[in-house]
Amino acid sequence: MHDLLSVLIWLPVLAGIVVLILGDRLIGLGRWIALAASLATLAVSIPLWTHFDTRTSAFQFLEHAPWIPTFHAFYALGLDGISLPLVVLTAFMTIPVIIAGWTVIENRPAQYYAAFLIMEGLMIGVFSATDALLFYFFWEAMLIPMFLIIGIWGGPRRVYATIKFFLYTFLGSIFMLVALIYMYVKAGDYAIASFQALPLTLAEQRWIFVAFLLAFAVKVPMWPVHTWLPDAHVEAPTGGSVILAAIMLKMGGYGFLRFSLPIAPDACRQLDVLIIALSLIAVIYIGLVAMVQSDMKKLIAYSSITHMGFVTLGAFVVYAILRNTGGVAGAALGMDGAMVQMVSHGLISGALFLCVGVLYDRLHSREIATYGGVVNVMPKFAALMVLFCLANTGLPGTSGFVGEFMVVLASFKASFWYAVLAATTLVLSAAYSLWLVKRVIFGAVSSPKVASLEDLNGREAVVLGALALAVLLVGVWPAPLLNVMDASVRHLVDQAVSTKLPLTAMTAVHGLPALPAGPPP
Partner 1 sequence: MTPAPLTWSTVAPAIAEIALTCAICLVLMVDVFAGERRRGLTITLTLVSLAASAALLIAYGQVGGRVVLFDGLYVEDTLGFVLKLAGFLFLAVVLLYSRSYMEQRQILRGEYCVLLLTALLGIFVLVSANNLLTVYIGVELLALSVYAIIAFDRDNPIAAESAMKYFVLSAIASGALLYGMSMIYGLTGTLALDELATRLSAGALSPGVILGLVFIVVAVGFKLGVVPFHMWLPDVYQGAPTSVTLFVSTVPQIAYFSLFLRLLTHGLAGASHQWSQMFIPLAVLTLVIGNVVAIVQSNLKRMLAYSTIGNVGFIVLGFITGTPGGYSAALYYTLVYVLMVLGSFGVILLASRKGFEADELDHYKGLYSRDPMLALVMLVLMFSTAGVPPFVGFWAKLRIIQELWATDHPVLVGIAAGISVIGCFYYLRIVKLMYFDPAPVGIPQPQPAGAARFALGLNALAVIGLGVLPGPLLALCAGLIH
Q: Show contacts with partner 1 in window 258-297 (CB under 8 A).
A: none
Query: How many helices and strands in the chain, by DSSP H and E?
Result: 25, 2
Task: Select the residue interacting with partner 1 from 7, 39, 42, 141 (CB under 8 A).
Answer: 141
Q: What is the DSSP string of 149-163?
A: HHHHH--TTHHHHHH
Residue 14 contacts partner 1 per CB under 8 A: no
Task: Select the residue interacting with partner 1 from 49, 52, 102, 182 (CB under 8 A).
Answer: 182
Provide the minimum distance between the beta carbon of 229 and partner 1 in the complex, in angstroms, as a whole number: 19
d(CA 318, CA 438) in angstroms, rounded, equals 38
Residue 76, strand partner residues: 64
Residue 137 contacts partner 1 per CB under 8 A: yes
Measured from the CB atom, the residue of 52 and 75 that comes closer to partner 1 is 75
Provide the minimum distance between the beta carbon of 151 and partner 1 in the complex, in angstroms, as a whole number: 5
Residues 6 or more apart whose CB falls under 8 angstroms from that of 59 comprise 78, 79, 80, 130
3-state secondary structure 380-417: HHHHHHHHHHHHHHCCCCCHHHHHHHHHHHHHHHHCHH
Residue 144 contacts partner 1 per CB under 8 A: yes
Long-range pairs, 199-204, Cβ under 8 A, ≥24: 199/500, 200/263, 200/264, 200/500, 201/501, 202/266, 202/267, 202/270, 202/501, 202/505, 202/509
> Is 55 in a helix, a strand, or coil?
coil
Task: Select the residue interacting with partner 1 from 35, 40, 174, 512 (CB under 8 A).
Answer: 174
Q: Show contacts with partner 1 in window 222-251 (CB under 8 A).
A: none
Task: Select the residue interacting with partner 1 from 140, 189, 455, 486 (CB under 8 A).
Answer: 140
Residue 167 contacts partner 1 per CB under 8 A: yes
Task: Select the residue interacting with partner 1 from 143, 251, 299, 335 (CB under 8 A).
Answer: 143
Cis amide prior to 221 (ω within 30 degrees): yes
Provide the minimum distance between the beta carbon of 215 and partner 1 in the complex, in angstroms, as a whole number: 12
Q: Are 411 and 418 in contact (CB under 8 A)?
A: yes
Binding part of the chain for partner 1, among 159-167, 329-337, 425-433, 487-495 by CB under 8 A, reads 159-167
Residue 163 contacts partner 1 per CB under 8 A: yes
Measured from the CB atom, the residue of 171 and 329 that comes closer to partner 1 is 171
- Work out the angle at residue 99's Cα, subtended by the Cα atoms of residues 95 and 102, and round it to the nearest 5 degrees: 150
Pattern 62-81, binding to partner 1, x per CB under 8 A?
----xxxxxx----------
Residue 178 contacts partner 1 per CB under 8 A: yes
Whole-Å CA distances, 154 to 34, 76, 92, 159, 160:
21, 35, 23, 8, 11
Binding part of the chain for partner 1, among 143-151, 191-199, 279-287, 317-325 by CB under 8 A, reads 143-151
Provide the minimum distance between the beta carbon of 139 and partner 1 in the complex, in angstroms, as a whole number: 8
Measured from the CB atom, the residue of 148 and 220 that comes closer to partner 1 is 148
What is the CB neighbour count within 10 angstroms for residue 50? 6
Distance of CA 356 to the CA centre of its chain: 19
Residue 177 contacts partner 1 per CB under 8 A: yes
Binding part of the chain for partner 1, among 48-56, 148-156, 293-301, 437-445 by CB under 8 A, reads 148-156
Binding part of the chain for partner 1, among 156-164, 310-318, 382-390, 395-403 by CB under 8 A, reads 156-164
Provide the minimum distance between the beta carbon of 267 and partner 1 in the complex, in angstroms, as a whole number: 17
Cα torsion through 307, 217, 336, 273, rounded to 10:
-100
Residue 159 contacts partner 1 per CB under 8 A: yes
Task: Select the residue interacting with partner 1 from 59, 92, 112, 166 (CB under 8 A).
Answer: 166
Residues 6 or more apart whose CB falls under 8 angstroms from that of 377 comprise 445, 450, 451, 452, 453, 454, 455
Binding part of the chain for partner 1, among 50-58, 168-176, 349-357, 464-472 by CB under 8 A, reads 168-176
Backbone φ and ψ for 395, nearest 5 degrees, come out as -70, 130
Q: Identify the CA nearest to 76 among candidates 67, 57, 63, 87.
A: 63
The size of the chain, in residues, is 521
Q: Identify the CA nearest to 499 among candidates 182, 267, 212, 203.
A: 267
Q: Identify the CA nearest to 340 among candidates 383, 304, 300, 310.
A: 310
d(CA 330, CA 489) in angstroms, rounded, equals 12
Task: Select the residue interacting with partner 1 from 49, 52, 175, 442 (CB under 8 A).
Answer: 175
Binding part of the chain for partner 1, among 180-188, 232-240, 251-259, 430-438 by CB under 8 A, reads 180-188
Q: Show contacts with partner 1 in window 342-371 (CB under 8 A).
A: none
Provide the minimum distance between the beta carbon of 203 and partner 1 in the complex, in angstroms, as a whole number: 12
Measured from the CB atom, the residue of 122 and 332 that comes closer to partner 1 is 122
Q: Identify the CA nearest to 94 among candidates 466, 360, 386, 474.
A: 466
Distance of CA 469 to the CA centre of its chain: 20
d(CA 382, CA 93) in angstroms, rounded, equals 21
Residue 170 contacts partner 1 per CB under 8 A: yes
Residue 185 contacts partner 1 per CB under 8 A: yes
Q: Does the CA dihedral 183-123-246-297 come out positive or negative?
A: positive
Residue 136 contacts partner 1 per CB under 8 A: yes
Provide the minimum distance between the beta carbon of 104 and partner 1 in the complex, in angstroms, as a whole number: 19
Residue 151 contacts partner 1 per CB under 8 A: yes
Task: Select the residue interacting with partner 1 from 184, 381, 412, 418 (CB under 8 A).
Answer: 184
Q: Identify the CA nearest to 339 among candidates 278, 293, 406.
A: 406
Residue 158 contacts partner 1 per CB under 8 A: yes
Provide the minimum distance between the beta carbon of 69 and partner 1 in the complex, in angstroms, as a whole number: 6
User: Residues in the site for partner 1, rule: CB under 8 A?
Assistant: 66-71, 136-137, 140-141, 143-144, 147-148, 151-152, 158-159, 162-163, 166-167, 170-171, 174-175, 177-178, 181-182, 184-185
